Amino acid sequence: MKIYTKTGDKGTSALFGGTRVPKHHIRLDAYGTIDELNSWIGLIRDQEIDTLSKKTLTLLQDKLFTVGAILATDPEKAILKNGKERLTIPKIKDTDITFLEDNMDAMEVSLPQMTHFILPGGHTTVSYCHIARTICRRAERMVSFLNENEPTDPNVLSYINRLSDYLFVLARKLSFDLKAEEIKWIPEKKG
Q: What H or E segment, with its residue span, contains residue 56?
A: helix 51-71
In a domain, 133, yes or no: yes
Between 1 and 29, residue with greater pLDDT: 29
The type of residue at 70 is: I
Domain tally, the chain: 1
Express each pLDDT in 38-92 by its tens digit: 999 999 999 999 999 999 999 999 999 999 999 988 776 666 556 666 667 789 9
In a domain, 134, yes or no: yes
Express each pLDDT in 118-159 by its tens digit: 889 999 999 999 999 999 999 999 999 999 988 899 999 999
CB 72 within 8 Å of CB 16: yes
In a domain, 62, yes or no: yes
- pLDDT band per the 50, 70, 90 thresholds, residue 18: low
120: domain CATH number is: 1.20.1200.10
In a domain, 85, yes or no: no
In a domain, 8, yes or no: no
In a domain, 177, yes or no: yes
Residue-level pLDDT at 26: 85
- 71-75-77 Cα angle (round to 5): 120
In a domain, 73, yes or no: yes
CB 190 within 8 Å of CB 123: no
Identify the sign of the CA torsion 114, 119, 122, 128: positive
In a domain, 190, yes or no: no
Whether 172 has a pLDDT exceeding 80, the answer reads yes
Residue-level pLDDT at 23: 66
Domain span at 34:
22-79+90-108+116-182
The DSSP symbol for 114 reads P
Residue-level pLDDT at 186: 84
- Mapped onto helix, strand or coil, the DSSP state of residue 16 is strand
Instruction: Determine the Cα–Cα distance for residues 38 and 63; give it in Å rounded to an integer.
Output: 9
